[in-house]
Amino acid sequence: MPAKAGPVSGEVAQAPGRLRVGLLARTPRRAFELHGDCAAAVRAVGVLLESLGHRVEESHPEALDDPAIGGHVARVVAAWTARDLDVWGQRTGAPIAANDVEPLTWEGAQIGRRITASEYIQAVDGAHAWTRGVAAWWEEGFDLLLTPTLAEPPPVLGEFTATAEQPLQGWVRSGPFVAFTQPFNVTGQPAISLPLYFSAAGLPIGVQLVGAYGREDVLLRVAAQLEAARPWAARRPPICA
CATH number for the domain harbouring residue 136: 3.90.1300.10
- At residue 1, the pLDDT reads 73
Higher pLDDT, 112 or 4: 112
- At residue 95, the pLDDT reads 96
Quick: pLDDT tens for 144-176.
Answer: 999 999 999 988 888 898 888 899 989 889 999
Query: Is residue 13 helix, strand or coil?
Result: helix
Helices (H), the chain: 36-51, 68-92, 103-113, 117-135, 169-173, 175-178, 182-187, 216-229
Query: Is residue 61 helix, strand or coil?
Result: coil
Q: What's the rounded mean pLDDT across residues 190-205?
A: 93
**Is 198 contained in some domain?**
yes
**Is 143 contained in some domain?**
yes
Do residues 206 and 149 lie in contact, with contact meaning Cβ atoms separated by under 8 Å? yes
Name the nearest CA neighbour of 184 among 217, 147, 151: 147
Query: Is residue 202 helix, strand or coil?
Result: coil
Total domains, the chain: 1
**Is 197 contained in some domain?**
yes
Taking all residues of the chain, what is their mean pLDDT, rounded to a whole number?
Answer: 94
Q: What's the rounded mean pLDDT across residues 13-27?
A: 96
Q: How far apart are CA 197 and CA 44, in angstroms?
A: 8
Does the pLDDT of residue 219 top 80, yes or no? Answer: yes
**Is 115 contained in some domain?**
no
**Is 38 contained in some domain?**
yes
Domain membership of residue 180 as a residue range: 11-65+130-229
**Is 88 contained in some domain?**
no
**Is 96 contained in some domain?**
no
**Is 106 contained in some domain?**
no
Name the nearest CA neighbour of 182 among 76, 34, 110, 111: 76
Q: What's the rounded mean pLDDT across residues 202-225?
A: 95
Q: How far apart are CA 78 and CA 210, in angstroms?
A: 26
